[in-house]
């Protein structure tokens, strides 16, 4: 495996105005690198859901993107409250988001399911009171 490209983004937990910045920047980068549009779209959506989760639940966090010739890995790390029941959180429609978040159009309980849907592999490492790290893996097809 060749040397990985690495990009780091701070996910600002203060407001929704900046939510999506890391996803948007990553989308631009992947475009420049010539990654297939469908893959870019999947990564953008999954990463945005992750960013939104960090803003809603964890006061922000870190997003890291690693790119090699055949794999893209997104690591989203926060020191928020952790996920009490991952199995439950993975169910479509299950949400612990407050009402004001729902008024913005989020909190439909689709965040984690969408991240799973739009990644080849998803790994969740979470501990209540400590934080959550989610890895999203994408295996790129050779042309």
Partner 1 sequence: MLTVEKLAEKLGLAVIELPEPDREITGGYAGDLLSWVMGRARMGDAWVTIMSNMNVSAVAQLADVACVVFAEGVVPDKEALDRARMHGVNMLGSGKGIFELCADIASAMAEYAERD
The binding site for partner 1 (CB under 8 A) comprises 16-17, 19-20, 23-24, 27, 37-38, 40-41, 44-45, 48-49, 104-106, 108-111, 113-114, 117
Choice between 79 and 108, CB closer to partner 1: 108
Enumerate the H helices of 72-138 as residue ranges: 86-89, 99-103, 111-117
Choice between 20 and 82, CB closer to partner 1: 20
CB of 84 to partner 1, least distance (A): 20
CB of 69 to partner 1, least distance (A): 24
CB of 94 to partner 1, least distance (A): 12
Choice between 80 and 111, CB closer to partner 1: 111
Instruction: Enter the tokens of residue 64.
Output: 């890291």
Handedness of CA 75, 81, 82, 83 (dihedral sign): negative
Choice between 102 and 127, CB closer to partner 1: 102
């Amino acid at each position: 495996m060749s040397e990985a490209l690495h990009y780091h983004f701070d996910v600002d937990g203060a407001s929704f105005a900046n939510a999506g910045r890391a996803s948007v920047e990553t989308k631009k980068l992947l475009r420049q690198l010539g990654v297939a549009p469908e893959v870019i779209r999947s990564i953008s959506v999954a990463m945005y859901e992750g960013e939104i989760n960090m803003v809603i639940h964890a006061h922000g966090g870190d997003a890291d993107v690693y790119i090699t010739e055949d794999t893209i890995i997104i690591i989203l790390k926060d020191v928020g409250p952790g996920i009490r029941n991952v199995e439950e959180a993975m169910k479509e429609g299950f949400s612990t988001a407050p009402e004001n978040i729902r008024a913005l159009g989020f909190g439909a309980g689709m965040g984690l399911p969408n991240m799973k849907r739009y990644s080849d592999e998803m790994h969740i490492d979470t501990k209540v009171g400590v934080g959550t790290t989610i890895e999203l893996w994408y295996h790129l097809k050779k042309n």
